[in-house]
Amino acid sequence: MVDHLFQTRVVEMEKPKYNSPLVVGGFVGPGLVGIASVSYMIEQLGLHQVAHVKSQHIAPVAVFVGEKLRHPFRIYTNRSGDLVVIICEVPIDLEGLYEISSVLMDWLEEIHSKEIVILDGIPVRGIPEDRKAYCVAQEGKCKEIGGKGIEHAPSAFIGGMGGSILNECLTRRTVGMSLLTPASINLPDPGAVLTMIEALNSGFGLDISTKPLEENVAQYNEYLNTMAQQFKKLQGERAKRQGGGEEVAMYG
C-alpha cells in the first residue's frame, strides 16, 4: 500500500459546481510568463482557491500570497465554475512530471474540463521586438484560434509541467494547447504578460481588464528609454575619452 504522505493527489478545499470549465495553466518557464499571466488573471477576476496538488515531487515550501501562506501548486476557479486556473511557482522534479500530470488530468476529467491552455514564453535576450501570441495545438484548433489574431507557431518546444500536461492530453479526450509569446530572459517583461492576456481575451472570450498592465508597460518602457539614453550618453563620453571605438549594445 502506498503511504498517503507520499502519494500524489489533488487535495480539495471545497467542491464547487463546475460547468465544463476552460483550464488555464501557468508554470515555471522562460521569463516566468506563465506564472505572471495566471497570477494576473487570479487577481483581476477575483478567483478563489479550491484545491492544491500534494506530491513528494513538489518542493516542500510555502509561498506568501495575498497575505496568506499557501501551497506552491494551487487550483482556482470562478463563481460560475466555467474557468479553472492552475499555478505552480516552483520547479517540479523531472521524475515526478508524469505522475503529477497524470493525477491532475484524472481530476480535470472528473470535473469535465473541455480544454486546457498552457501559457508559456519563448526565451529571447533583451527586449523582444515581436509582441505576437502564437498557438501550439492540433491543426484544427490552430485554424480556429488563428481567425482571432493568434498565429500558428512554426515550431516550439514546451517542457516542464506544461509540456507534461500537454503530452498527457494527447492520450485523453481533453483538448490541450499552448499560447506562447517572446519574453525576455534577463529583464522583467510586463509586455509579454499583456500579450498573453490579450490573446486569452480574443481567443477565448475572456473579459480580463488590461488597463493595469497597459499602465505598467508604459511605465516600464519609459524607464527603459531613460536607461537607454543614459547608457548612450555614458557610452559617448567613454568613446571621447578613448578616442573612439566600437559601440557596445545595452542588451546583448
- Fold topology of 9-209: Rossmann fold (3.40.50)
Checking 109-113 for CB contacts under 8 A at 24+ apart, the result is 109/172, 109/173, 109/174, 111/18, 111/21, 111/84, 112/18, 112/20, 112/21, 113/18, 113/20, 113/21, 113/22, 113/23, 113/84, 113/174
pLDDT tens for 200-245 read 999 999 999 999 888 887 776 676 566 557 656 766 666 676 665 5
pLDDT tens for 49-96 read 999 999 999 988 888 877 788 899 999 999 999 999 999 999 888 899
Domain boundaries in the chain? 9-209, 210-252
Query: Does position 251 have pLDDT exceeding 50, yes or no?
Result: no
Distance between CA 212 and CA 232 in Å, rounded? 30
Least-confidence region, from 138-152, 153-167, 191-205, 236-250: 236-250
